[in-house]
Amino acid sequence: MGTLRNKMIDAMNLRRFSLKTQQSYLSAVSALAKYYNLAPDQLDAQKIQAYLLHLTVERGLSWSSCNVAVSAFRFFYLEVMGWDRINLPIPARKKPTKLPQLLSRQEIDRLFACAYPPRNRMLLMTTYAAGLRVSEVTNLKVSDIDSNRMMIRVDQAKGAKDRYTILSHRLLEELRLYWKLYHPPTFLFPSTRDPNRKMDIGMAQKIYYQAKQRAGISRGAGIHTLRLCFATHLLEAGVDLRTIQSLMGHTSITTTQRYLHVSRQTLDSKQSLLDLLATEKIAPQL
């Protein structure tokens, strides 16, 4: 893409896109150009739509993969190339609604018990206790633990926003024991290869999956499940949505409200329609 690539990178940097987003957008536009063997500025709306149809129907890519491509094309052609929206009629893609599979408190206890050595256990415990994304927990520094205010600073989280989340007394005690064992210099969970670098996200995921397998837990997806459990368990404990929104770093309360759908407390407060009926029970057969 040459000059166009540099122009696109400048536009993304100006909007402070994360490195991961930049790489995803560049990859999507490069794949489009390679598919037609033409520079992306030589394509028209019909070719772009045909390519998206190819991704969806022929390659059968997931919603999330196709949505990255749609977002990348909209940014490139509307923001970088300056096209009018009427010249790029890409239909909106409806995101499928799927409720997450959560772990119970008992399963989380088993998960922690099956995470070893102590570094692995501490990583998972911190992720759950503070409601962190995997990128946030691997980016934590020793200096981010504020024991005086009993808070954890999350530096430049998603959307380039700083926030604070809770530091429980139990977690603080565990972290102090962990520090005596490992003495991490800068990052709370450093790389085993270089103590001055943070742990790789892939390694954090691997630690979670290993502990999950040892614990015999089949439900739930990746390590992000612990963040979802944090929010849901807080809700079940009676913490209000606004507080959970702040701790999670959600821009919109709508994002936080989805936890209402998976809260056991919410379901327990509602009577089943069947329980309200006066139908007689089935008589046992003799």
Cα distances (Å, whole numbers) of residue 33 to 4, 6, 40, 197:
12, 15, 5, 36
Report the number of distinct structural domains present in the chain: 2
Q: How far is CA 11 from CA 6, 31, 33, 71, 77, in A?
A: 9, 19, 19, 14, 12
Q: Catalytic residue at 183?
A: no
Give the CATH number for residue 240.
Answer: 1.10.443.10
pLDDT at 272: 45
Which of the following is catalytic: 153, 158, 214, 258? 158
Q: How far apart are CA 16 and CA 14, in angstroms?
A: 5
Select which of 119, 212, 227, 233 is catalytic. Answer: 227
Catalytic one of 7, 153, 214, 224 = 224
| Active-site residue identified among 121, 163, 212, 250 | 250
The question of whether 227 is a catalytic residue gets the answer: yes
Catalytic: 233? Answer: no
Of 25, 178, 208, 259, catalytic: 259
- pLDDT value of residue 258: 73
Q: Which residue in 75, 30, 35 sits closest to 51, CA to CA?
A: 35
**Residue 133 is among the residues annotated as catalytic for this protein:** yes
Which residues, at least 6 apart from 76, have a Cβ–Cβ distance to it below 8 Å?
8, 25, 29, 40
Give a yes or no: residue 94 inside a domain: no
pLDDT of residue 271: 45
Q: Is 259 a catalytic residue?
A: yes
Give the structural domain span for 74: 3-87
Contact by Cβ (8 Å): 112, 210: no
Residue 254 lies in a domain: yes
* Per-residue pLDDT at 98: 66
Predicted local distance difference test score (pLDDT) of residue 262:
59
- Does 278 map to a domain? no
Can you give the pTM of this predicted structure?
A: 0.68
Same domain, yes or no: 146 and 233:
yes
Q: Do residues 78 and 216 share a domain?
A: no
User: Helix, strand or coil for residue 88?
Assistant: coil
- Annotated catalytic residue 158: yes
Boundary (domain end) residue, out of 53, 87, 121: 87
Residues 46, 185 within the same domain = no
Q: Which residues of the chain have pLDDT under 70?
A: 1, 91-99, 157-160, 259-286
Distance from chain centroid for Cα 166: 19
Q: Do 59 and 167 lie in a common domain?
A: no
pLDDT in tens, 234-273: 888 888 888 988 888 888 888 777 766 656 555 454 444 4
Locate all alpha helices (DSSP H) within 37-62, ordered by sequence.
Answer: 45-53
Catalytic residue among 133, 163, 212, 233: 133
Residues 6+ apart with CB under 8 A from 133: 157, 158, 224, 227
Question: Do 210 and 132 share a domain, yes or no?
Answer: yes
Residues 74 and 112 in one domain: no
Print the SS3 string covering 259-274. Answer: HHHHCHHHHHCCCCCH
Q: What are phi and psi of 189, to 5 degrees?
A: -125, 85
Residues 81, 118 within the same domain:
no
- Residue 220 and residue 161 share a domain: yes
Q: Are 36 and 43 in contact (CB under 8 A)?
A: yes
What pLDDT does residue 280 have?
52
- Closest by Cα among 26, 28, 22, 20 to 2: 26
CB 211 within 8 A of CB 145: no
